[in-house]
Amino acid sequence: MRIGICYDLQSDYLAQGYSPEDVAEFDSEITIDAICDALAGMGWEPVKIGGIKRLNEALARGERWDAVFNFCEGMYGLAREAQVPTLLDAYQIPYVFSDALTMALTLDKAMTKHVVRSQGVPTAAFALIEKHSDIAKIDLPFPLFLKPVAEGSGKGVNEKSKVNDKKQLSAVAKELLRRFNQPVLVETFLSGREFTVGIIGTGEDARVLGVTEIVPLAGWVGDGYGFDNKTTGWEDRVEIQRVTPKPEAKAAGAVALAAWRALRCRDGGRIDIRCDAQGKPHFIEVNPIAGLRPEHSDLCFIAKFEGVTYPQLIRRIMDSFLKRHPALAPRRRVAA
């Protein structure tokens, strides 16, 4: 049973002249090799494909796979994470993780918050700035928190992201509009603890894998888990801890699971949760393609805290996929 692996490598784009921040969401060879090893251990034959353009070229040549492990973030457009799922849907090739609709929706943090809020999931009050004239229309109490509406890996989040007055709001919003050429999400600042919730499964079968807390250290930059806190030297800026006491983990997990189901996410991923001053957890954003670099990515930390090895984590993700595509399961077992 052949399973293609779709991904974007940081090294490929750095070689083309892109900056480290441009490619912050992309993966390393370490991650792709680890995924391939785990899949091979389950009896699959992994085939490295690469990004959307290489996938398109391979399909045009007539190449096919029984399934695809879609780990591709994409480079261009507000629906870039939906590009690979859309292409695979056109060729009727089943793939791991969420479909094109969910991928397009969840990359847009504002549209995502509209959906989860409509389903009763608590999320901070928010507004969207699409152009300079929208800045004066913001009618939310300070302090506020600003970020690009469709970026990951903390891009655009730094020591200026929390603003305390209209002057700061205007300056930061204009800078983000200029730098990222996309709308700016404005949220009521939540001053409580920040959690990351790992989830495995789809729909009613989805379950919380575990919950970790983002604990700032001496080198922490700003008031959010931004780009500087996630990149080189992160060990001096943040500590990832298993959440205690358990009631807080349970509350954060309940909010995350409700959001996961409302957004129709599939197989596995992460949801970020932040508490208000009273300790009530709120949905921040979802990562339907969560990082999977061993000993580095948040979902891998969560799994390790819960006694789940890396191969077991990939197997749980694949078990969810195979439950959606049961015809592939017996064929895989024969191959194993």
Q: What is the pLDDT of residues 271-287, one digit of tens each?
A: 999 999 999 999 999 99
Asked if residue 20 has pLDDT above 80, the reply is: yes
The token pair at 323 is 């439950």
* Calpha distance 105→62 (Å, rounded): 30
The token pair at 9 is 């490598």
Beta-strand ranges (E) seen in the chain are 2-7, 45-50, 67-71, 95-96, 126-129, 144-148, 162-163, 184-188, 194-200, 207-216, 238-242, 268-275, 281-287
Instruction: Give residue-wise pLDDT tens across range 195-238.
Output: 999 999 999 999 999 999 988 776 666 666 656 655 666 677 77
- Please give the pLDDT value at position 336: 40
Mean pLDDT across 75-83: 93
Domains and CATH numbers, the chain: 2-97+329-335 (3.40.50), 123-188 (3.30.1490.20), 194-323 (3.30.470.20)
Mean pLDDT of the chain: 92
Contact (CB, 8 A) for 174 and 135: yes
- Please give the pLDDT value at position 219: 67
Q: Which amino acid is at 259?
A: A
Mean pLDDT across 162-173: 96
| Local confidence band at 45 (pLDDT 50, 70, 90 cut-offs) | very high
CA end-to-end distance (rounded Å), the chain: 9
pTM of the model: 0.92
For residue 238, give Cα distances in angstroms to 210, 220, 227, 235, 257. 19, 6, 12, 6, 25
| Local confidence band at 334 (pLDDT 50, 70, 90 cut-offs) | very low
